[in-house]
A and B are shown apart, each in its own frame.
Chain A
């Protein structure tokens, strides 16, 4: 009997092995479907979206999410991007160029168009059969033409849109978005590390600010989107507005501008800010005598300084305290990468340092940025330029 049992036992083991092996084999044939499962996530617009994870074929609705996405996805980020809304390459931005050098394949990522220019193609998205499409909250809030209809159509076709956000609230939302993308890619751990790094670097500023009992300086921050003589946009309670607040500033646009808008010149003159910060993304306007063109921030600081100086020549600016005291700073980036991406920690540090130079003497935003790139980024772009006018 015992022998028989032993025999049976072996038989059972063998059978079990066979089943397992064949199961494994079948699973391989079915494109690893057995690893896949459906989960419901809450995205940054508060929508409940059902997605299949781990997501392997992803569309970035705006190519400017490339740096953040590549940081979270890790070394094989490129295989995961099956399409994107291509707007950056038009002016061949610096970081894009760095990516292109190392990964020439990004040139052949299919373009799905963009709602920002009315070229978004639902059909193209469907043809690419993505597991999900990542869409930024600001684009949804801006209500580009046809955007809701298109996202509905994609949903009906079984392509989930997950809305992420690095703009409306560049702290809470950036962390949530990072973790969310990580969980959908099956990269929870890596996303967790990025979020922790981010929190830690922003925390350095926030914790110390809590003990600073000075009057907060009044700051005017302008996204310079036109020629230097024309006022650009400022943020109220989103984007830069939130960043300024975190960095310990009184944002003069708050309460006047809701999210994004242009401040009236005389309001600025009357408010007389202590510090002026000019930011420029995706190039800035330069007008050497007979030319009018946008130039990209390159490693050469001269055009940026010229631009800052040109801005201070606006009517009445000579009487502003910030101009008199030389408290004019610039944050230049070759695209919107810094602003709509995971790098905001470095910007908060830079601004805090400008606002409270003594208290944050030891802070080195550039070094932290570099460290971040070393740990998480596939390329080093060293593109962010934080410069100051010294009189």
Chain B
């Protein structure tokens, strides 16, 4: 009996390991495609040469690969993973399937911060010339996370209150942004709209470095709590009876997730959907066990945003299409088809 159960356990986890592994491979393949595809149609050899010995190719090719394609392609992976992890943990600690950086108003407030810098030239902290917009965005993202957390605490993490408060915040910041757009000159208006669409073209190695560093620091901290986070989904009382300090865990995770979200959205703008869909797709694939849920969420997010990046280059070659517009096109059909397959209710 015990032996059989153990076998079954290995069978299930084995299947899950396979999923993690194959998604990892898929993410790498899409990353390669993202680097290989672009309006300049470089050959694979050229790209290979440019990556491994940049001096042997002509300077334009090496610029294209090193300054444009690599940072953007990697940023797609990092931001996709960050947003999906953030969404996953928000859903876990708030016990709410609708929680995501977008639905809780975090993206909208980041957008407001950016618009404030672009239209009014107001920066909340003195900062270097390339960082006024991201720092403002980051600051407002944090502010909203904090606000949402205090609302959640007051409301004892009740699902309805959280969603309503999130939507209220979303509307508040959207109308504040609209107000700024109203007073903006046409030039500023364009810059704000472009920011709000969300795109990866602002990526530099430095920005990529910041986002990656935060992602890489956050993952082990969250992974350390994987078991505790899994128990949260059984309900607070059960988690507490298993010796988890629920309150502390929530606060700690929330802080981590806020920073993660802020670091992702502040450089790329509003990219909705991934933070919501990524974790749900992961949950449908591997369930609630955080040992798998966390990496699969991250990989799903990375794959979604990376494919969106590839697609945005293929739809109209030669022009820039904001990736935020594409993201939902990719995710929604997949998301809905999975939803119908898992009729039994996975949440």
C-alpha gap A282/B132 in the complex (Å): 22
C-alpha gap A270/B189 in the complex (Å): 30
Q: Which residues of A contact B63 (CB under 8 A)?
A: 269, 315-316, 319
Q: B175-216: contact bitstring with A at CB < 8 Å (1 yes, 0 no)?
A: 000000111111111110010000001100000000000000
C-alpha gap A36/B40 in the complex (Å): 61
Q: Which residues of B contact A117 (CB under 8 A)?
A: 181-182, 189
Q: Which residues of B contact A262 (CB under 8 A)?
A: 319-320
- Interface set, chain A 277-293, CB cutoff 8 A to B: 280-285, 287-293
Tell me how many residues of A have a C-beta within 8 Å of chain B: 43
Q: Does B59 contact A (CB under 8 A)?
A: yes
Q: Does B121 contact A (CB under 8 A)?
A: yes
Q: Which residues of A contact B344 (CB under 8 A)?
A: none
In the complex, the answer to whether A316 meets B319 with C-beta atoms within 8 Å is no
Q: Does A363 contact B (CB under 8 A)?
A: no
Q: Does A231 contact B (CB under 8 A)?
A: yes
Q: Which residues of A contact B181 (CB under 8 A)?
A: 117
C-alpha gap A265/B200 in the complex (Å): 12
C-alpha gap A281/B38 in the complex (Å): 30
Given A90-B185, A292-B129, A315-B68: A225 touches B320 (CB 8 Å cut-off): no
Given A116-B186, A282-B185: A256 touches B317 (CB 8 Å cut-off): yes
- Interface set, chain B 299-345, CB cutoff 8 A to A: 313, 316-320
Q: Does B241 contact A (CB under 8 A)?
A: no
C-alpha gap A289/B63 in the complex (Å): 26
Q: Does A70 contact B (CB under 8 A)?
A: no
In the complex, the answer to whether B319 meets A263 with C-beta atoms within 8 Å is yes
In the complex, the answer to whether A225 meets B191 with C-beta atoms within 8 Å is yes
In the complex, the answer to whether A261 meets B185 with C-beta atoms within 8 Å is no
In the complex, the answer to whether B67 meets A261 with C-beta atoms within 8 Å is no
Q: A267-310: contact bitstring with B at CB < 8 Å (1 yes, 0 no)?
A: 10110100000001111110111111110000000000000000
Q: Does A226 contact B (CB under 8 A)?
A: yes
Expressed in whole angstroms, the minimum distance between the Cβ of B56 and any Cβ of chain A is 16
Q: Does B118 contact A (CB under 8 A)?
A: yes
- Interface set, chain B 35-88, CB cutoff 8 A to A: 38-41, 59-60, 63-64, 67-69
Q: Does A30 contact B (CB under 8 A)?
A: no
C-alpha gap A289/B40 in the complex (Å): 34
Expressed in whole angstroms, the minimum distance between the Cβ of A359 and any Cβ of chain B is 30
Size band of the B side of the interface? 35 or more
- Which of A264, A280, A292, A319 is within 8 Å of B320, CB to CB? A264
Q: Does B296 contact A (CB under 8 A)?
A: no
In the complex, the answer to whether A225 meets B187 with C-beta atoms within 8 Å is yes
- Which of B67, B118, B127, B319 is within 8 Å of A256, CB to CB? B319
C-alpha gap A225/B189 in the complex (Å): 9
Number of A-B contacts (CB under 8 A): 121
Q: Which residues of A contact B182 (CB under 8 A)?
A: 117, 119
Given A263-B319, A316-B68: A283 touches B185 (CB 8 Å cut-off): yes
Q: Which residues of B contact A230 (CB under 8 A)?
A: 194, 201-202
In the complex, the answer to whether B186 meets A264 with C-beta atoms within 8 Å is no
Q: Does B243 contact A (CB under 8 A)?
A: no
Residue of A nearest to B122 (CB): A292
Expressed in whole angstroms, the minimum distance between the Cβ of A235 and any Cβ of chain B is 12
Q: A160-173: contact bitstring with B at CB < 8 Å (1 yes, 0 no)?
A: 00000000000000
C-alpha gap A116/B185 in the complex (Å): 11
Q: Does A257 contact B (CB under 8 A)?
A: yes
- Which of B59, B128, B191, B202 is within 8 Å of A285, CB to CB? B191
Expressed in whole angstroms, the minimum distance between the Cβ of B339 and any Cβ of chain A is 31
Which of A267, A280, A283, A289 has the most CB atoms of chain B within a 10 A radius of its CB? A267
Which of A231, A269, A272, A288 has the most CB atoms of chain B within a 10 A radius of its CB? A269
Residue of A nearest to B39 (CB): A267
Residue of A nearest to B319 (CB): A261
In the complex, the answer to whether A316 meets B118 with C-beta atoms within 8 Å is no
Given A226-B194, A256-B317: A270 touches B185 (CB 8 Å cut-off): no
Q: Does B145 contact A (CB under 8 A)?
A: no
In the complex, the answer to whether A264 meets B313 with C-beta atoms within 8 Å is yes
Q: Does A56 contact B (CB under 8 A)?
A: no
Residue of B nearest to A262 (CB): B320
Q: Does A389 contact B (CB under 8 A)?
A: no
Q: Does A41 contact B (CB under 8 A)?
A: no
Expressed in whole angstroms, the minimum distance between the Cβ of A341 and any Cβ of chain B is 15
- Which of B117, B123, B318 is within 8 Å of A264, CB to CB? B318
In the complex, the answer to whether A289 meets B129 with C-beta atoms within 8 Å is yes
In the complex, the answer to whether B183 meets A90 with C-beta atoms within 8 Å is yes
Q: Which residues of A contact B40 (CB under 8 A)?
A: 266-267, 269-270
Q: Does B133 contact A (CB under 8 A)?
A: yes
Q: Which residues of A contact B129 (CB under 8 A)?
A: 287-292
Given A90-B183, A256-B317, A290-B127: A225 touches B133 (CB 8 Å cut-off): no
Q: Which residues of B contact A315 (CB under 8 A)?
A: 63, 67-68
Q: Does B126 contact A (CB under 8 A)?
A: yes
Given A226-B191, A231-B201, A269-B60: A264 touches B319 (CB 8 Å cut-off): yes
In the complex, the answer to whether A316 meets B67 with C-beta atoms within 8 Å is yes
In the complex, the answer to whether A319 meets B185 with C-beta atoms within 8 Å is no
- Which of A256, A266, A294 is within 8 Å of B185, CB to CB? A294
The 6 closest A-B pairs by CB, nearest first: A316-B63, A315-B67, A256-B318, A270-B40, A267-B39, A262-B320
**A to B CB contacts below 8 Å, 25 in the list:** A91-B185, A117-B189, A225-B187, A225-B194, A226-B190, A231-B320, A256-B317, A256-B319, A261-B316, A262-B319, A263-B318, A263-B320, A266-B68, A267-B39, A269-B68, A270-B40, A272-B60, A282-B187, A288-B129, A292-B117, A316-B68, A318-B59, A319-B59, A319-B60, A319-B63
